[in-house]
Amino acid sequence: MTDSTRRDFAARYGPWALVTGASSGIGAEFARQIAGRGVNVVLIARRTERLTTLANEIQNRHGVDTQVIDIDLTLDGADTRVAGGVGEREIGLLVNNAGLGRSGRFIDQRANDHARMLDLNCRAPLLLAHWLAPPMARRGHGGIIFTSSLSGLMATAQLAHYSATKAWDHFMAQTLHAELRHEGVDVLSVCPGPTDTEFFGDGEFQPSRWPKAARQQMSRPSDVAQAALDGLGRTSVVVPGVSNKIIAAARRLIPERYIARLTDRAMRRVMRVRSGP
């Protein structure tokens, strides 16, 4: 990246970015790359030690300031606590990235777990965007990224509620993109396909159960963050990776109810397979 591109990014989206889910995976990469573009970063997640280690790494490598806010974003009043921690810092870029997913049948999962997913994947991004977009609009510049998913672009059975929350993220990004572009605020939905992070945990849908070809297609979190940051201000949707782009395009040719049946069949097959040795 040239010095002038870096300066332009910092002028448009600085002086501070706020990244949720910064303690691992795609969020940690967002934080590193935003810092690499000369913007100070507020790092948000629950695991304090991870955030502090990342904050030190970023400060040493890129010479920017960081702030750690360790918080569970599903709790009532989390947005108020975040606002208190941020104080007078001017946030020019919000990355609504923290998220969780659960695979398996909707009815086999506890209602409380679904509600927590809704709080993290939708309610927290809603409250943060509603707090931070107005000052960006008043200043006439800024950016908001929603980390959606390929499954937010297609009805994915066996990930039913997750898929619905990610469709919410995607639609919020598209509608805010249309509304806020008049105020100079860029909004983007990034829709990664399977990405090599801690996201899958050790559940039924973990990558060790996938066909080898699918494992080999997994994106790297650094590529996802870079594609999103490169796309911000240029477009409203980024689907990182060639195979994911093909799926996203092909999906438009098939009615949603068939997509749901196809994904149900494919996911059941993967989840039945026992983990290898």
Residues labelled as active-site residues: 162
Calculated CA dihedral for residues 27, 29, 32, 33, nearest 10 degrees:
-110
**Residue 241 interacts with ligand NAP (CB under 6 A): yes or no:** no
Q: Which is nearer to ligand NAP, 147 or 158 (CB)?
A: 147
**Residue 251 interacts with ligand NAP (CB under 6 A): yes or no:** no
CA 87 to centroid of chain Cα atoms: 24
Of 33, 66, 103, 149, the residue at the interface with ligand NAP (CB under 6 A) is: 149
**Residue 97 interacts with ligand NAP (CB under 6 A): yes or no:** yes
Nearest distance in Å: CB 73, ligand NAP: 4
**Tokens (6 digits) for 154:** 């297609």
**Residue 101 interacts with ligand NAP (CB under 6 A): yes or no:** yes
The residue among 73, 100, 74 whose CA lies nearest residue 18 is: 73
Sheet holding 40-45, edge to edge: 66-70, 40-45, 16-20, 91-96, 142-147, 185-190, 237-238
Q: Which is nearer to ligand NAP, 99 or 233 (CB)?
A: 99
Contacts of 161 (CB under 8 A, 6+ apart): 102, 106, 109, 114, 117, 118
Of 34, 98, 155, 173, the residue at the interface with ligand NAP (CB under 6 A) is: 98
Give the footprint of ligand NAP on residues 51-90 (CB under 6 A): 72-74
The whole-angstrom separation of Cα 200 and Cα 207 is: 7
Q: Is residue 43 helix, strand or coil? A: strand
Give the footprint of ligand NAP on residues 176-235 (CB under 6 A): 192, 194-195, 197-199, 221
**Residue 33 interacts with ligand NAP (CB under 6 A): yes or no:** no
Phi, psi for residue 158 in degrees, rounded to 5: 70, 0
Stretch that binds ligand NAP, among 98-106, 137-145, 172-180, 257-265 (CB under 6 A): 98-106
Which residues make up the interface to ligand NAP (CB under 6 A)? 21-27, 45-47, 50, 72-74, 97-101, 120, 147, 149, 192, 194-195, 197-199, 221
